[in-house]
Structure 1
Amino acid sequence: MLKKTILVENKSSISTKFNQLIIENELKKRTTPIEDIGFLVIDNQETFISLPSLNLLIENNTAVIICNKSHLPNGLFMNLNSHHIQQEIFKNQIDASIPLKKQLWQQTIVEKITNQGILLEKITGKKNNFDFLATKVLSGDTSNMEGVAASFYWKTFFEHNFKRERFGDYPNNFLNYGYAILRAATARTLSGSGLLNTLGIHHKSKYNAFALADDIMEPFRPIVDEKVYEIMQRYKELELNTEIKSELLQILTRTVYFKEEKSPLMVALQKTASSLQQCFTGERKKIKYPKLWS
């Protein structure tokens, strides 16, 4: 079943009763079965949430995302015991060889560059050489084809003089919000597959608690880029508002395509996470990434 995404922007009280999440504010009272919720985004500094509510959400593997004063996702609550053979999976992940991790990163970057090329062609209407760049990605991407592709991608993607920065000017704020939601969704599914988000296949910063999520989300980033591009064509706003945040949250239910089926992104991420787990156990050699367009 497709899980719901709930955005809380007004000052609210969040409690639970009979496994129902109750969100109450001055405007309305909303009740939702906790088992139906995949993501809860809290974007109001005065919102109260009870510990029983938080615990039930986490036990249900709901990703609870807390936003900061700038309305950007800042923290994530997740289940630490979400798989029945957690320790065994952790051991396989920790024991993964360097050559295996380099091969998995190569696969990931090939998918990312391929998807960037497809999207860029859709937006500009012009052919590009991203397919060629993807064939040049080595094990571990030691030749940094990711950086080569990114340089051309961002110079071409937007019409105005754009520089991709974490704290940069518009539309970086839209991209950052979308990427943060994608990161949370990826972390949730990796955790649900029993994997340790802290231990990446490429990202290694000691300060990064979600290194693996940052690795696996890479091929999916063009979904956010596409949505931000669409928003810029339809809205004149330069700041995040309720409508734009709601638009960006729609990426979680966007359809993607596997060879044998199509599925919403949040379901596809589960398949990708499960395939990564099987790579660590030796059951398969490739991560199962979907095609972003049919």
Structure 2
Amino acid sequence: MDQIIEIAIDGRHLSRDRGFLKVSQDHAEVGRTPLDQIAGVIVHAHGTTWSTSLLTELADRGVPVVLCAANHAPRSVLMPLEGHHAQGARMRSQWQAKTSLVKQAWKQVVIAKVLMQAAALDAVGEPDAPLKMMARKVTSGDATNIEAQAAVTVP
């Protein structure tokens, strides 16, 4: 069972301990998760510290670590760099992609984001029709900024 670990409380320390990601606060353990069950780590608490051995162990397992800014928006992603030629080829393909492909990919991302917002509203019994209609209007590269419009449409 893959887990996404979210660190949201200030002052936590993350380390590796016998095959586990250990979370500590003021030198006392407050939680642990087997490293083999971690699919990703998201850190948006201030003052979080970690050990290098933990980060290298996560990299060995292909686990990304997302670092967020004070506004909780992702600011950086630590991705493992594997020695396999496929990863370099994949990265090269991404940075050499034609603008039209990038814009079409962004369109699909925005549509997915807006439809997920609609699903969240539906789950709590709120009307989702405005967002579903907005998702249909997304253009290549989201030139009309439907993503932002959908964000302010949510009650």
Which TM-score band applies after superposition, normalised by the shorter structure?
0.5 to 0.7
Contact persistence 1:121–1:128 (CA under 8 A): no
Contact persistence 1:6–1:37 (CA under 8 A): no
**What is the 5 A alignment of 1:36-47?**
36-40=37-41, 43=45, 45=47, 47=49
- Going from structure 1 to structure 2, the CA distance change for 1:87 and 1:131 (only over 3 Å counts) comes to same
CA drift at 1:66: 5.7
Q: Which residue of 2 aligns with 1:170?
A: none
The whole-number CA distance in structure 2 between the counterparts of 1:125 and 1:40 is 31
CA drift at 1:100: 1.7
Residue 129 of structure 2: SS of its match in structure 1?
Answer: coil
Give the structure with the larger helix fraction.
Answer: 1
The whole-number CA distance in structure 1 between the counterparts of 2:150 and 2:48 is 42
Q: Which residue of 2 aligns with 1:105?
A: 106
The whole-number CA distance in structure 1 between the counterparts of 2:116 and 2:30 is 42
Q: Which residue of 2 aligns with 1:2?
A: 2
The whole-number CA distance in structure 2 between the counterparts of 1:132 and 1:85 is 39
Contact persistence 2:103–2:141 (CA under 8 A): yes
CA drift at 1:85: 0.7
Q: Which residue of 2 aligns with 1:87?
A: 88
**How far does the alpha carbon of each residue in 1:107-149 deviate from its partner, in whole angstroms, 9 at most, with x for none?**
2223333333343355464463333333322222233333433
Equivalent AA in structure 2 for residue 45 of structure 1: G
Unaligned runs of 5+ in 2: none
Residue 92 of structure 2: SS of its match in structure 1?
Answer: helix
Q: Which residue of 1 aligns with 2:79?
A: 78
**What is the 5 A alignment of 1:8-27?**
12=13, 14-17=15-18, 19-21=19-21, 26-27=27-28
Q: Give TM-score scaled by structure 1 length.
A: 0.39
1:150 pairs with 2:148: no
**How far does the alpha carbon of each residue in 1:138-191 deviate from its partner, in whole angstroms, 9 at most, with x for none?**
2222333334333333xxx1xxxxxxxxxxxxxxxxxxxxxxxxxxxxxxxxxx
Residue 52 of structure 1: SS of its match in structure 2?
Answer: helix
CA drift at 1:60: 1.6
Q: Give TM-score scaled by structure 2 length.
A: 0.63
The whole-number CA distance in structure 2 between the counterparts of 1:77 and 1:123 is 34
Contact persistence 1:20–1:31 (CA under 8 A): yes
- Going from structure 1 to structure 2, the CA distance change for 1:27 and 1:124 (only over 3 Å counts) comes to same
The whole-number CA distance in structure 2 between the counterparts of 1:120 and 1:30 is 32
Contact persistence 1:5–1:39 (CA under 8 A): yes
Residue 129 of structure 1: SS of its match in structure 2?
Answer: helix
Equivalent AA in structure 2 for residue 97 of structure 1: K
The whole-number CA distance in structure 2 between the counterparts of 1:14 and 1:127 is 42
The whole-number CA distance in structure 1 between the counterparts of 2:30 and 2:150 is 48
Contact persistence 2:36–2:61 (CA under 8 A): yes
The whole-number CA distance in structure 2 between the counterparts of 1:109 and 1:13 is 33
The whole-number CA distance in structure 1 between the counterparts of 2:134 and 2:102 is 21
Equivalent AA in structure 2 for residue 114 of structure 1: L
Contact persistence 2:118–2:129 (CA under 8 A): yes
The whole-number CA distance in structure 1 between the counterparts of 2:48 and 2:137 is 50
Contact persistence 1:44–1:67 (CA under 8 A): no
Percent of residue pairs identical? 25
Residue 62 of structure 2: SS of its match in structure 1?
Answer: coil
Unaligned runs of 5+ in 1: 158-294
Aligned residues: 151
The whole-number CA distance in structure 1 between the counterparts of 2:55 and 2:76 is 14
Contact persistence 2:6–2:41 (CA under 8 A): yes
**How far does the alpha carbon of each residue in 1:220-261 deviate from its partner, in whole angstroms, 9 at most, with x for none?**
xxxxxxxxxxxxxxxxxxxxxxxxxxxxxxxxxxxxxxxxxx
What CA RMSD, in Å, does the superposition of the two structures yield over aligned residues?
Answer: 4.0
**How far does the alpha carbon of each residue in 1:22-76 deviate from its partner, in whole angstroms, 9 at most, with x for none?**
55665448665432333456657375x44333322222223345678x6957765
